[in-house]
Amino acid sequence: MKKIAFVASDYSSISGITGGLEIFKIANILSRIQSPGKPKRFECSVISLDKGSFTISPGLICEFSKGLSMEERYDAIILIGFIYKDISQLIKRIDSSKKIVSWILKQYSAGALIGASCSATLLLAETGLLDGKSATTSWWLNSFFKKRYPKIKLEIDALMVENKRLICSGAVTSYLNLVLCIIEKFTDKSLALSCSKMMLIDINKSSQAPYIMQQRLLDLSDDMVTKAQHWIYTNFQNKIDFQVLSNHLGVSYRTFIRRFKFATSETPSKYLQKLRIEASKDLLETTNLNLEAIMESVGYSDTSSFSILFKRLTHLTPKEYRTRFSRDQINQVN
């Protein structure tokens, strides 16, 4: 029997904890049906830094049966993402996680598999175990992750990235695929697939690219970049000359490019491309406009180049994207 520990803290995602526990429970039930008389496959615990309780949200408090123990060993540790209101709060939580990070390192040294989803991938990154390796995280943490952990190769489009006993998964509900991956590693593909069918989880989903939104939050750390972002948002449908924009902002072109890339982790041209693709996604979801009309409204005229860029950024063609996400398609099904 494999011992699994879910590590939670204040404002951890409750669905990540309860949903993960339910999948392991289903795995135990299905395993007993398939192999009567055999002991259950998994024993799960929810643990915290200190034995006691933690707050999920105001008015909702969960009790723990265990705190972190330096002596007790687990076969797998699952780090569940937590909710935060802004980057400063996120940094504060990460900076105060030294005891958890030390515990993770000790469990890993003893042979445990470490899985992390959503914002909890930052805890795994803090251990240094991912340095020189590939990883993924919540897509909206792309820029922050790259700046804080430059030694890690971030594959932001990937839903899940495995490095032997280290597994990262992407945004919030990616924990579903993370848990199925752990079940498969400790048992077999058949049991993981059976669990996915019972829980209606797409076990073959490999990318979070179709779900990535170009964030329309301004970077407030650099006033020049904030002004540039605002100007791009207002004029993305038109042809933009970044040399002219840099002159308007009172900086050299090279300085503009350098500061913009430092603040956003992207060049202005790539930033503009993603903003235009995001606008086209909105139109594919909410209107019946044909592709040419959509392209024209977001500043593109060449169908081939637009389609190639759209496919590269979303892993879907415009037609496939509309089929999957159009509200008209959903209404027709309902």
List, for residues 21-48, the tens digit of each pLDDT value.
999 999 999 999 988 888 899 999 988 8
Within a domain: residue 67? yes
Instruction: List, for residues 84-141, the tens digit of each pLDDT value.
Output: 878 888 899 899 889 999 999 999 999 999 999 999 999 999 999 999 999 999 988 9
Distance CA 126, CA 147 (A): 13
Strand order in 42-48's β-sheet? 66-67, 42-48, 2-7, 76-79, 113-117, 166-169, 160-163
The total number of structural domains in the chain stands at 2
Distance CA 104, CA 9 (A): 14
Q: Return all residues near 73 (Cβ < 8 A) that are at least 6 apart.
A: 3, 107, 110, 111, 112
Of 180, 208, 236, the one marking the end of a domain is 208
Which residue range forms the structural domain that includes residue 199? 2-208
Extract the tokens encoding 263.
């603040």
Residues 30 and 125 in one domain: yes
Distance CA 36, CA 29 (A): 10
Within a domain: residue 128? yes
Residues 98 and 193 in one domain: yes
On average, the pLDDT of the chain sits at 88
Distance CA 170, CA 211 (A): 11
Burial 28-62, CB ≥16 within 10 A → b, else e: bebbeeeeeeeeebbebebbbbeeeebebeeeeee
Instruction: Please give the C-alpha separations between residue 331 and each of 251, 318, 324, in angstroms, as whole numbers.
Output: 50, 19, 12
Within a domain: residue 161? yes
**In 3D, which of 110, 135, 112, 139 has the Cα closest to residue 124?**
135
Distance CA 248, CA 256 (A): 11
Residues 17 and 99 in one domain: yes
Give pLDDT, residue 332: 43
Over residues 51-69, mean pLDDT: 65
322 CB burial (10 A radius; 0-12, 13-18, 19+): buried
Within a domain: residue 216? no
Extract the tokens encoding 188.
């077999």
Extract the tokens encoding 209.
């690219």
Q: What is the pTM of this model?
A: 0.75
Domain containing 65 — which CATH number? 3.40.50.880
Over residues 279-297, mean pLDDT: 93
3-state secondary structure of 208: coil
Instruction: List, for residues 148-182, the tens digit of each pLDDT value.
Output: 999 999 999 999 999 989 999 999 899 999 999 99
182 CB burial (10 A radius; 0-12, 13-18, 19+): buried
**In 3D, which of 206, 208, 212 has the Cα closest to residue 278?**
212
Least confident segment among 40-49, 65-74, 134-143, 243-252: 65-74
Within a domain: residue 215? no
